[in-house]
A = this chain, B = another copy of it.
């Protein structure tokens, strides 16, 4: 800017006014505006984002901490959030935590250090003094998929319980009476809510769960658990698996067992599967609107950043995809 100003015999300030697009506000003459832009083009001026961010005390970027980018849920969320970020001129910094608290705190530190203006994350712990304090100190935070306990931070998520209701209704509609639930750890609100919905829907239908298990949300753990389930007696006639990895593991166990799907064992899984139509077994799924979660979370974060009041929870409806 200084160079441009010198060559044009203007002040650096005027050049700044023009280049920042504030010529209207400062009533810079059309002529000067043109001159400045032309010279800027000729000299290949590029604004220094670092200087501007420093001066303005904001980076126009936002961090998104996801648990596992190889899971389409988190990927879709990231894509949705980036869309929205892009639309509003923000840069999205995606951080893959892999469920590590340390990496989550690293993301939080980016917020503390001003590297990003806001943070979207799915808290790993239920109660987190560090995050709580950050939030109370006025740092913009929005949660996704699951909320912190004891803290009034906005959370954007699928209506997990409603998804479970869809699953049970679907299976009950198919005359299944022995439905088993395969879920994740109950300390995670996501799984608590999915099981809660399952129980409620079963009760309403007058059914008793054939089994209820909670394992680590990995294909391996689900594989083992479901194998055991299938060799028990009486065998469940249907499985509701509460997460994509659990569904995968269950399908593997079923494949191993040689049971016929859906004749001998029926399956509904939470989280949609891209190539479900190519699978050996038709699997009905509860699809989350993943991109919307990302987009909404970003929108809510922007509101928070503007100091607006936002709803405590934004619930998005899941959809049943029958196959």
Contacts and interface: CB of A to CB of B under 8 A. Distances in A.
Give chain A's interface residue range (CB within 8 Å of chain B): 35 or more
A96 B114 contact: no
Interface stretch (A71-79, A148-156, A205-213): A71-79
A225 interface: no
Copies of this protein, total: 2
Interface in A20-66: 46-51, 53-54, 57, 59, 61
A86 B110 CA distance: 13
Contacts of A280: 278-280
A79 B279 CA distance: 27
Nearest to A46: B112
B86 A115 contact: no
Interface of A: 46-51, 53-54, 57, 59, 61, 69-70, 72, 75-76, 78-79, 82, 86, 91-96, 103, 106, 109-110, 112-115, 248, 251-252, 255, 273, 275, 277-281
Q: Which 5 A-B pairs have the closest CB atoms?
A: A49-B113, A54-B54, A49-B115, A50-B54, A46-B112
15 contacts: A46-B109, A46-B114, A49-B110, A49-B114, A49-B115, A50-B54, A50-B57, A50-B59, A82-B94, A91-B93, A91-B110, A92-B93, A93-B93, A255-B278, A279-B280
